[in-house]
Amino acid sequence: MASILYKWLFVFIVSGFPGNYHPIFVSVTELEHNAKSQTLEISCKIFTDDFETALRKTYKSKIDLLNVNQKKAMNPWINDYIQKHLSIMVDRKPVVLQFVGFEQQEEGIVSYFEVKNIATVKNIDVIDNILYEDKPQQMQIIHVSVNGERKSSKLNNPFDKVSFNF
C-alpha cells in the first residue's frame, strides 16, 4: 500500500510541473532481506534528470539513461556512483553491494543491487548521501524489510546515517 502511495506521489510531483522541473529532490532506497535465498535485495529510485546531472558532473561524460542503446555503457557509471554514495552494514559488518542492473520507471531510474550470504538480520546501518553533492535540499527515504517487518526513515541533507534494529 505504501509503495502505491509513493508511486502516485512521485508521478503527481513530476507531472504537476512543466519542463521536468520538480520542486522536491528525493530518492527512495529499499532494502529487503530474503530469508529463503539468504540475500539482501536493494533498489534505489532517483529522478532521471537529477541522476543524469550528477553522473555528468562526476564522470565528465555524455550520460543518457533513457537511451536503450546506451544502457550497457551506463551500467559502470551507475554502479560506481551508487557504490560511492550508499553503504550498508548488516549486524555491524560492512557488506559488498553487487550491481544487478537498472531500469526506467515513470520519471525515475531504479538501480538494483544484491548482497549474498545474509542468513539473518538483526541490525542494518545505512549511509545514503545520493545526490547530496548537487542538491542541498536532497532527501532520502529509506525502507527496510526483515521477516515481514517494515521500517522506514527519512534523511535530509546533510544527514546521511540511519540504523534499523529488528
Q: In the chain, where are the structural domains located?
A: 2-165
Residues 60-73 as b/e (b if ≥16 CB within 10 A, e otherwise) read eeebebeeeeebee
pLDDT at 5: 38
Confidence grade of residue 6 (pLDDT, cut at 50, 70, 90):
very low
User: Phi then psi for 13, rounded to 5 degrees?
Assistant: -60, -45
Query: pLDDT for 89-131, tens place per residue?
Result: 999 999 999 999 999 999 999 999 999 999 999 999 999 999 9
